[in-house]
Amino acid sequence: MPPLQTKTPKILTAEELYAILKNIKLGGQVCHYSLKKCEELAPLVNEVNALKAEQDAVILAHTYVVPEILYGVADFVGDSYGLSKNAMSTPAKKIVFAAVKFMGETAQILNPDKEVLMPAKDGGCTLADAINGSEVRRLRQEFPDRTFVCYINTTAEVKAECDVCVTSANVVRVVERIPDKKIYFLPDKFMGQNLIHELKKRGVSKDILYFNGTCDVHKEYTLEQVHKVNLEYPEAKVVSHPECKPEVCEASDYVGSTSQMLQYMRKTAADQFLMLTECGLSARLQVEFPEKHLVGTCTLCDYMKSNDLHDIIRVLKHPTDKDRISVPPSIQEKAKKCIEAMFLYAEK
């Protein structure tokens, strides 16, 4: 028997899609929309929404993927922390995760009975690819008296070797609450350095060592860029992501995850902002806060931008083993403990 249609698919016209996306200017061609482009995209959007309804599927999309996914087909849009929670609470049978592979793995670990599909052509991530399980095992032998804390941007295999996971939204809060003073943080060295700095500011004493991974997108931002914007737009608020270099975060008015950056813009009276993160957030801000002005530029993540509507249709219609996230049960169980420890510390 074919699956029952559980939701009424939303139908978007090209004009409606264009009305949503036309204000996006930053991010180059990939984030630039004309009515003609929306005429090509609207049938794909409607096909995805019909397939979702037929198959009881839900689409989770990271803020960094292309705007036609965010505003055309996504059921939930957010950062790693918010999407992990959405993944846990969705009653849908199938999850399509428009993001990169480690996020799909997290969704599968939290939903072992659901099918998790990844449409990304290249679901890599320079942070997640910086370290593997055997390297963590070696480090644990070298530093046996430390609590190993991993950023969510790690593979399931790495999470399975660590004690507690964190996201950019809760890293300070979680590490502050871990009883152990001695921490090994991986894989992002800039986030590790920013964490040390922030804990010191709060008067929290921890002895933190960190690995040497970096995000290719966020490491591009420099202090010179911040100073240039400070000179050209003295009223602009500088907002950065904790994967940026410490000197960039230090010179910023606010540092947070993409969702926290968006909240900061929402509640701050200022009119001009420099957002130091991937262009997807800039796109969201131009759609959701058209009255505010973005200054400077943004950087694209090729991995996140390798998700498109054609591939979402393909994985919904003809999924292959390559599209399905499959974490071996032994890794799943250990990685789940690491993620659950994060929820415990973040929410207590």
Q: Which residues bind ligand SF4 (CB under 6 A)?
A: 64, 100, 125-127, 153, 215-217, 278, 301, 303-304
Nearer to ligand SF4 (CB atom), residue 17 or residue 239: 239
Nearer to ligand SF4 (CB atom), residue 12 or residue 217: 217
The whole-angstrom separation of Cα 241 and Cα 248 is 9
Residue 147, token pair as written in the block: 């609590």
Nearer to ligand SF4 (CB atom), residue 51 or residue 116: 116
The least distance separating ligand SF4 from the CB of residue 243, rounded to whole angstroms, comes to 6
The least distance separating ligand SF4 from the CB of residue 304, rounded to whole angstroms, comes to 5
Nearest-CA neighbor of 162 among 133, 191, 190, 189?
133
Residue 82, token pair as written in the block: 């918010």
DSSP 168-180: TTTHHHHHHH-S-
Nearest-CA neighbor of 150 among 132, 162, 137, 136?
162
The least distance separating ligand SF4 from the CB of residue 306, rounded to whole angstroms, comes to 10
Nearer to ligand SF4 (CB atom), residue 14 or residue 300: 300
The least distance separating ligand SF4 from the CB of residue 341, rounded to whole angstroms, comes to 21
Q: How many CA atoms lie within 13 A of 139 on its CB side?
A: 23
Nearer to ligand SF4 (CB atom), residue 125 or residue 274: 125
Nearer to ligand SF4 (CB atom), residue 12 or residue 301: 301
The least distance separating ligand SF4 from the CB of residue 100, rounded to whole angstroms, comes to 5
Three-state DSSP class for residue 129: helix
User: Are residues 118 and 97 in contact, defined by beta-carbon separation less than 8 angstroms?
Assistant: yes
The whole-angstrom separation of Cα 92 and Cα 90 is 5
The least distance separating ligand SF4 from the CB of residue 307, rounded to whole angstroms, comes to 11
Neighbours of 186 (CB within 10 A): 27
